[in-house]
Amino acid sequence: MKFISLIDSISKNVITVDANSFVLRLEINGVSIETRLKAYHGEILYALFSHHPTALTYDEITDLLMSYNLVIADETRMHRKISELRKFLAKFHPSLEEIIINTRGVGYSLPLRLKNLHELANDNGLKFKNKKINESISIISGLIEDAIHLTSGSKIVRNSHGYVLERNSKILEEKIEIFNSCEKNIMKQICAHEADFVFLRTQYLLAKLKTYVGLARISEYSISEAQWLDWFKLEAWTLFEDLKKSIKTSENS
């Protein structure tokens, strides 16, 4: 069964690919619209969705296209097929116009704001009373996973602040935009005065966690990439647990 749904964490639109039935469905504010897909369009979209947030390599896409007896003699023809799919998506709905991203020299991927709806729905670790807080915490968890994924493939460089990770500003701008939306939602849902202890602590933890999501962590010393990744994962998840505890305290107070 090749069926998968992703949710846009900003617009809340749900995009579903049913490759077996050759259907693409878009749900906006509870209203669904759908269109028929060419068989290889459905296959490529399903592969992109199921691999997300990892990019689908040029070779993997070429193999998929060739499995449908399409003549892909060189990389240029592969790019043309993806361009054809992009135009089809844009014609179906404007919100899908830039959904397929070309990571030069690597492959094609999707925006990080898209999250697996099935995984979000089955996150049993969330036990907050407030549904909106649950949604935001789940999205932040996904952003941390994305940051760890990016960290594992990034180089350590030195600048005036110390040692930092080499950063892709375009990707991180999108991640921070999503985080800011979650942060705003969480602080709005916490029913406390701005001078309240728990309110201030939650605000502080969110601000600190944002530096990890944005790969803005600094080390005074040069360490190996493996050590950096281990340190990054430990600190980011520890902060995340502290954040959840702080929010839980506000619910119980």
Q: What is the mean pLDDT of residues 127-153?
A: 86
Per-residue pLDDT of 53-103, as tens digits, reads 888 999 999 999 999 999 888 889 999 999 999 999 999 999 999 899 998
pLDDT band at 224 (very low <50, low <70, confident <90, very high): confident
Residue 146, classed as helix, strand or coil, is helix
pLDDT over 90 percentage in the chain: 42
pLDDT value, residue 176: 94
- For CA atoms 160, 177, 148, 57, the dihedral sign is negative
Planar angle of CA 174, 177, 180, nearest 5 degrees? 150
Per-residue pLDDT of 170-218, as tens digits, reads 889 989 999 999 999 999 988 778 888 989 999 999 999 999 999 998 8
Q: What are phi and psi of 124, to 5 degrees?
A: -75, -5
pLDDT band at 124 (very low <50, low <70, confident <90, very high): very low
Give dist(CA 116, CA 20) in Å, integer: 19
Per-residue pLDDT of 15-34, as tens digits, reads 989 888 899 999 887 788 99
